[in-house]
Chains A and B, each alone.
Chain A
């Protein structure tokens, strides 16, 4: 949602007021606002890697 609001502001302004790529969408609902599945996946923004 934050990216949407900032993008609308950029379009209305006709120039890049905000760098939307820097938004961390997850921060919107915080560490604990995330449901568990997502927590499990997202928590590890680092995905498990195979043993070399």
Chain B
């Protein structure tokens, strides 16, 4: 049995930041990470034959000075400043988001625009009384046609729910303050190069961001190296089976199991966890009363199909949104635009097609070969890469990418937090799993 001051579960940003700070202060740390090769969690850089990918695209931008200072301390020499561009791709054309009126007019074409205006006028003249669904509410605000082009499909892809099944109050909160006439005025102003007034531009448009030249994982590889240099241990390919709290002796006993079945037991004063809460609580002994609440926390999963190839068609966006109802892909990452070093040569294109899904649904359950076939077919259908231009491909899966912050989420988390604080004071939850203070944001 190995004894340490603090045992940390997960070598993602939260676990490694904790470990780094503790190890630097001379405190003993052991980090266990279930992945065989990668540290960094969702912020890892995945590599495949010298091509590098980022899961979801990580911009380094923080309002917190301490966070920025820590980035610079861990990775002093390897940050790039990258321009940011991300547009909507619809029917073969790129649209700035928020929309620019003239660009939209030009791209949609005169007829489509007229149809949009007519459908808007119709919706205003004959609104659906007491809209109950997202669809009805949006149709009243924007007209059927604009709704179906710019809102319907993306919303359905992200949430996996039909717009007729989503309730209207969600739309009302989400799209609050956005109305078409204002959007048109703003859009016209933006087309002429004026920034919309109200000081919103600084907050909503970050024109550039920092990015490690070999992807976000570079930061976490550097952090792991520094932790080891300070005497910490990072045990890869290892998960926990049981965490037992002994309140009398004020110690934790953590039983772990490696991918190859090897068991190892640790004793520690503190346990820090960045693992998903349902998994953590299921392994705690004595059994927490809020295990039931933990099991009610829901997550959404995410997978990226990476397509590598050569094409004359280049575009500068970091990623684009796919508002095309014929395909399931939600966004396409353009890894070269994040950093040229993500691509080992000067000519290849490497795109990451992102699919939102839930463990166990049809998409998640597809085997890699079928997913690659689907991705190839979809990328040629939307016209970004032709099927025969694709020379290689792979699939990267990310379980539990997002907690689903539904109306029960915060309440369940509050109950869990209360119990953990009173019964397991030396258990510390960190990272994206541990935040109760979430704010409502309006999608722009």
A residues at B contact (CB < 8 Å): 1-5, 7-12, 20-52
Cβ-defined contact, B13 with A1, below 8 A: yes
Cβ-defined contact, B17 with A4, below 8 A: yes
Report the interface size class on chain B. Answer: 35 or more
Query: Main SS of chain B's interface residues?
Result: mixed
Q: Of B56-64, B186-194, B254-262, B375-383, which stretch is located at the interface? A: B56-64
A24 to B177, CA, bound (A): 24
Cβ-defined contact, A23 with B14, below 8 A: no
Cβ-defined contact, B430 with A7, below 8 A: yes
Cβ-defined contact, A36 with B22, below 8 A: no
* Residue contacts A-B, CB under 8 angstroms, 18 given: A5-B67, A7-B430, A8-B18, A11-B27, A11-B428, A20-B429, A21-B436, A28-B63, A29-B61, A32-B61, A33-B62, A37-B56, A37-B302, A39-B443, A40-B158, A44-B174, A44-B441, A46-B407
Q: Of B106-114, B161-169, B285-293, which stretch is located at the interface? A: B161-169
Tell me the B152-203 residues at the A interface (CB within 8 Å). Answer: 154-155, 158-159, 161, 164-170, 173-174, 203
When distances are taken between beta carbons in the complex, the residues of chain A under 8 Å from B56 are: 35, 37-38
A35 to B409, CA, bound (A): 22
When distances are taken between beta carbons in the complex, the residues of chain A under 8 Å from B405 are: 42, 44-47
Beyond A27-B63, A50-B166, is A36–B331 a contact (Cβ under 8 Å)? Answer: yes
Kindly supply a per-residue 1/0 record for chain B positions 63-95, scoring 1 wherever the CB is within 8 Å of any chain A CB and 0 otherwise: 110110010000000000000001000000000
When distances are taken between beta carbons in the complex, the residues of chain A under 8 Å from B155 are: 40, 48
When distances are taken between beta carbons in the complex, the residues of chain B under 8 Å from A21 are: 417, 429, 434-437
When distances are taken between beta carbons in the complex, the residues of chain A under 8 Å from B57 are: 35
Tell me the B347-377 residues at the A interface (CB within 8 Å). Answer: 354, 356
**Does chain A have a CB within 8 A of B330?**
yes
Cβ-defined contact, B441 with A43, below 8 A: yes
**Does chain A have a CB within 8 A of B125?**
no
Cβ-defined contact, B204 with A46, below 8 A: no
Cβ-defined contact, A1 with B166, below 8 A: no
Cβ-defined contact, B27 with A12, below 8 A: yes
Which among B22, B62, B164, B440 is the interface contact of A28 at CB below 8 angstroms? B62
A52 to B209, CA, bound (A): 42
Residue with the highest number of chain A CB atoms closer than 10 Å, among B15, B404, B428: B428
Of chain A, the residue at the smallest CB distance from B435 is A25
A5 to B331, CA, bound (A): 32
When distances are taken between beta carbons in the complex, the residues of chain B under 8 Å from A23 are: 434-435, 437
Task: Return B128 CB to nearest CB of chain A, in Å.
Answer: 13
Which among B169, B330, B431, B436 is the interface contact of A4 at CB below 8 angstroms? B431
Cβ-defined contact, B18 with A7, below 8 A: yes
When distances are taken between beta carbons in the complex, the residues of chain A under 8 Å from B331 are: 36-37
A51 to B132, CA, bound (A): 7
Cβ-defined contact, A7 with B428, below 8 A: yes
Cβ-defined contact, B63 with A36, below 8 A: no
Which among B134, B435, B443 is the interface contact of A43 at CB below 8 angstroms? B443
Which among A2, A29, A31, A37 is the interface contact of B60 at CB below 8 angstroms? A29
When distances are taken between beta carbons in the complex, the residues of chain A under 8 Å from B252 are: none
When distances are taken between beta carbons in the complex, the residues of chain A under 8 Å from B21 are: 4-5, 8-9, 12
When distances are taken between beta carbons in the complex, the residues of chain B under 8 Å from A48 are: 134, 155, 159, 161, 166-167, 170
**Does chain A have a CB within 8 A of B438?**
yes
When distances are taken between beta carbons in the complex, the residues of chain A under 8 Å from B206 are: 30, 32-33
**Does chain A have a CB within 8 A of B272?**
yes
Task: Return A28 CB to nearest CB of chain B, in Å.
Answer: 5
**Does chain A have a CB within 8 A of B281?**
no
Tell me the B387-425 residues at the A interface (CB within 8 Å). Answer: 402, 404-407, 409, 417
